[in-house]
Amino acid sequence: MSDPVVKRIEHISIAVRDADKVKRAYHYLGFEPLWTEDLWDQGLRSHVIGANNMMIEFIESLPDREAPTTVDRFLERRGEGVHHICLEVTSLDAARRAVEAAGFELVNPTPTIDGRGKRVFVRPDSSHGVLMGLVELHRSETAESSANATTRRVFGLDQAGFADKTFVPAVSRRGDILCVSGLNAIGSGGRVEAEDIVGQARCIFRKLGEILAEAGATFDNVVKTTDFIVSREGYRGVADVRREFFGTTFPAATGVVVKELLGQGVLIEMEAIAVM
């Protein structure tokens, strides 16, 4: 018998109507949020949670979609429930050959490539009613690193004052520490790239994203941020920028009002700590 193509169940995907409500329920079972991703081309939002080296994905339709999504049709036909299972494979080419040998059919033979790997889907009408995803993870997203991702834990969510905030009371995560110096919105020309605090915050987050990517990390790896601001004016708008970049996987955070910051016109500076 040849070596198995499948390594493990990478995740189980569940179609839901309100992912935030479901995530709160699963929190009582020990699951913690790992990351949230908007799949604009499909009109879907993916929420991934983890516990004890296991991952579950909740998928829901984006609120401003232009047309019914696959999840909309699934919910209308079946209601909430398991949408598909995703299997990690040793090689996507070997998996495709195995699919053909088994008599299964692919939804699309051309793999899609995302931040975690390249994948194809097996048609449910050819595989006993189960929609299966087959994914070959990028080298940086091996089973070991995926397991480490589930070590992110959030504490103190029952503390007063943290509901609907863009930060959590406390975060722990295992791995190498990446300390990011204070970032501001000064560009290569020596001038700030935005005049208001929200625009400057967006510049800062873009810079942070570039640093994280260079280190092989994402915003999900950030466990702590500290904002230094010269005025509270407009600062509430920075929360929308945090949601834009963090999704719902928020780090711990601190905000400090200071007399002034280095750099003419600088209204906000942010430093961050990430764990790889």
Cα separation, 85 vs 124, whole angstroms = 11
pLDDT over 70 (residue 192) = yes
**SS3 state of residue 235:** helix
| Residue 140: C-alpha distances to residues 51, 162, 268 (Å) | 20, 33, 33
CB 200 within 8 A of CB 206: no
Q: Residue range 50-79: average pLDDT?
A: 90
- What residue spans define the domains of the chain? 6-149, 159-275
Question: Which of the four pLDDT bands, split at 50, 70 and 90, describes residue 64?
Answer: confident
Q: Which residue has the higher pLDDT, 270 or 189?
A: 270
Q: Which tokens in the block code for residue 15?
A: 């179609």
Q: Residue range 169-192: average pLDDT?
A: 88
pLDDT value for 193: 92
Question: Which of the four pLDDT bands, split at 50, 70 and 90, describes residue 9?
Answer: very high
Question: Which of the four pLDDT bands, split at 50, 70 and 90, describes residue 1?
Answer: very low
pLDDT value for 140: 54
pLDDT over 70 (residue 141) = no
The fourth-level CATH superfamily of domain 159-275 is RutC-like (3.30.1330.40)
Phi, psi of 93, rounded to the nearest 5 degrees? -65, -45
Interval 215-270: pLDDT, tens: 888 898 899 999 999 999 999 999 999 999 988 788 999 999 999 999 999 999 99
Question: Which of the four pLDDT bands, split at 50, 70 and 90, describes residue 139?
Answer: low
Say whether 159-275 and 6-149 share the same fold: no
pLDDT value for 147: 44
Q: Residue range 60-80: average pLDDT?
A: 90
Q: Residue range 37-41: average pLDDT?
A: 79
6-149 carries CATH number 3.10.180.10: yes
- CB 85: neighbour CB atoms within 10 A? 14
Phi, psi of 76, rounded to the nearest 5 degrees? -65, -35
pLDDT value for 230: 95
Percentage of the residues of the chain whose pLDDT score is greater than 90 = 53
Cα separation, 171 vs 157, whole angstroms = 10
pLDDT value for 228: 97
In whole numbers, what is the pLDDT of the chain averaged over residues?
87
Helix axes 238-246, 197-214, angle to 10 degrees: 20
The residue with tokens 């103190």 is 156
Q: What is the pTM of this model?
A: 0.54
